[in-house]
Amino acid sequence: MRLNKIEIKRGIITGLSVCLTMFLLSSVTSCGIFKGKSEKAKEDPRIQNFEFNYYFLEANKQKILGNFEDALVNYTAALKVDNTNSAVYYEIAGILNLAADYAGALEYAEKAVNFDNTNNEYYKLMLAFMYQNNNLPDKSASVYKELIKLYPDKISYYFALSNIYLNSKDTKSAIKILDNAEQKFGINEIISLEKEATYNNIGDFDMAIAEIQKLVDKYPNDTKYKTLLAESLVNSGKYEQAKAVYLSINEDDITEGIIYFSMADFYRTQRDLENTFKYLAIGITRDDVELDLKVRIMLQMLDIMGDNNFIIGNMKYLLELLTEKHPDELKVRALNSDYYIMTKDYVAAQKEFDMILAIDKSKFQIWEQALQLDFVLRDMDKMYKRSKEATSLYPNVIELYKYYVPAAYFTQNYDDVDEAVNFASQFMSNDQIVLIEFLTMQGDALHKTNEHHKSDSVYELVLYKDSENTSVLNNYSYFLAERGQKLDRALELSTKLIKLDGDNAIYFDTHSWVLFKNKKYDEALIFINRAIDVDLKNPVYLEHKGDILFKLGEINKAVMSWEKSVEYGNASEAIKDKIKNKLIVE
């Protein structure tokens, strides 16, 4: 874990159209506003100065406003008045660079430097950038060498030149430049870290270690540099030497909390879990360590946790410390939820998601993870409420309806099922399997609310899409038989059902009942007996058998079957009346 990183950033954000920019340049050149100038205007320097200032200032204003095309037009107009002005060439180079016209930008950057008599630092720096953008590292390096001569106290130019050599695989020259910087500025952290990184890049770990050793020698009481040395030793595989350095650190002298994480990380690699958790606990309580680093380290520990009870217990303790330190941070709550999921404490994980979503409802992924937990816990009430809110926030995210529709159905919110399926089905042409599942639940929901005309239409739609859908064949045919409607259609469906699956007791009962309603009592008795053979104590099957026997005139056998149905749990008033009166009330 590196304590410090050096990063030299440079470059200009790109974004405009190259073609548009070149078109503007060409159009400005032939624009009529430059024609017909009077000879007096050309000769009078006051008028020329006024014109130049007008175009130049207008260009600067448009550039500030982000109107780069207009700025380019005005800069070009200013050049028509004074084609030796280096400032204008510099500004045009910048705009062309924005347009990714690197060749054009280089041309103007060179002119800016050529027409400048003041050794302007920024013009040269722009030129160095343009050479790099045009893949001319040698020329860029020459400019940086000149900048170093002109401004020897600017350390960033040494680094920039060193990076050019590194990118060109000229490590020797890169090191030489850094050595020059060290001679100029003395041994300091920035240069030493840059040299260490350079040596590491070429695999010279001993020299990398030596660079950090110089820092330690110069600042022997600075625990940060000792830590950097230990990390450098670890990087080269010299673990025993690294351990010796860590042991030499006086904890009372530690001023930077990140050092504790470095020590913890080292002991983790050595599988010394006791010291790992010791230093993690100290680091987590430090105010001078960024939360993101703490979270990142904890994620690494979760990755290695597995089923190790020692790690599991200590992770719980560390998470309690972290939560106490940052109670309102969503990242910490997310960490807690990860821990609870990994330890299969899904109820605790669910509570963490409740807290997260109470604070921040803007992340769809969090909603989905929370709904997955609700589903695992079979907490349909929570899943219904959560998914309903989620779909109101993200109405076009179909994944959320995979939780909402089933949850609404199982919690008997049938109107929500109907509304949700009507909406979601518009966007599910590419997911016919889930669509059919949704439609099936919609049909069942409409049946529950006695909207039979609608439910029949939905069932017919499902069978049009999937003619062998046994769930719909079963439910639809049974519901039609119960209602005594479309009995021919019901018989057609239940007959197909039995052909598709001739071993299912539920389907035997359905087909038997459809036959019963069609007054085919002898056939109905055959299939209800098959159902009872599979499930001897099913009270519904036994009641149905009694009804069939009654229609066949076998009253005593019918009563016996009804009585068995009551024995096995049927407590309805209707069957009690059947037994008492030995009669079916139609």
- 3-state helix vs strand vs coil in the chain, percent to 5: 75, 0, 25
Q: Which pLDDT tens digit goes with each residue over 117-167?
A: 899 999 999 999 999 999 999 999 999 999 999 999 999 999 999 999 989
Arithmetic mean of pLDDT, 264-268: 93
Residue 33 has pLDDT above 70, yes or no: no
User: Two tokens at 41?
Assistant: 């205007």
Average pLDDT over residues 493-511: 96
Most distant pair of Cα atoms in the chain: their distance: 129
- The predicted pLDDT at position 43 comes to 57
Q: Please report which confidence band the pLDDT of residue 19 belongs to, taking 50, 70 and 90 as the band edges.
A: very low
Q: Is the pTM of this model over 0.85?
A: no
Q: Please choose, from the candidates 435, 480, 477, 474, the residue with its C-alpha nearest in 3D space to the C-alpha of residue 453.
A: 480
CA–CA gap between residue 244 and residue 37 (Å, rounded): 82
Burial class (CB in 10 A: 0-12, 13-18, 19+), 332: buried
The per-residue pLDDT of the chain, averaged, comes to: 90
Residue 585 sits at the vertex; the CA angle it makes with 584 and 586, to the nearest 5 degrees, is: 105
**For the chain, which domains are there?**
1-134 (1.25.40.10)
Position 295 scores a pLDDT of 95
Question: 560 pLDDT exceeds 70?
Answer: yes
The pLDDT, as a whole number, for residue 50 is 85
SS3 85: coil
- Decide: residue 343, CB within 10 A, 0-12 exposed, 13-18 middle, 19+ buried: middle
Q: Which carries the bigger pLDDT value, residue 266 or residue 19? A: 266
- Give the least confident one: 15-19, 140-144, 154-158, 304-308: 15-19
Of 512, 504, 516, 510, give the one whose Cα is nearest residue 529.
Answer: 512
Query: Angle at the Cα of 254 (from 253 to 256), degrees rounded to 5?
Result: 145
The number of residues in the chain equals 586
Q: Among 492, 463, 490, which residue's Cα sits nearest to residue 478?
A: 490
Q: Are 482 and 456 in contact (CB under 8 A)?
A: no
Average pLDDT over residues 290-299: 94
The residues, any chain, with a CB within 8 Å of residue 25's CB and separated by 6 or more, are 72, 76, 104
Q: In angstroms, rounded to a whole number, what is the distance separating the alpha carbons of residues 507 and 510?
A: 5
Name residues whose C-beta falls within 8 Å of residue 83's C-beta, 6 or more positions apart in sequence: none
**Which helix (H) or strand (E) is 578 found in, with range?**
helix 573-581
Check: CB of residue 72 under 8 Å from CB of residue 95. Answer: yes
Please list, in sequence order, all residues whose beta carbon lies within 8 angstroms of the beta carbon of residue 303, skipping any fewer than 6 positions away.
none
- Sign of the four-CA dihedral 152, 153, 155, 156: negative
DSSP 8-state class, residue 411: T
- pLDDT at residue 29 greater than cutoff 70: no
Q: Quick: pLDDT tens for 190-238.
A: 899 999 998 998 889 999 999 999 999 999 989 999 999 999 999 999 9
CA separation for the pair 22, 18 (Å, rounded): 6
Q: Residue 36: pLDDT above 80? A: no
DSSP run (H or E) holding 385: helix 380-393
> 3-class SS at 135?
coil
Q: 187, 214 in Cβ contact below 8 A?
A: yes
Reported as a single tens digit per residue, the pLDDT across 417-455 is: 999 999 999 998 888 999 999 999 999 999 999 999 999
pLDDT in tens, 49-65: 888 999 999 999 999 99
* Amino acid 7: pLDDT: 30
Residue 383: pLDDT over 50:
yes
What's the rounded mean pLDDT across residues 345-358? 95
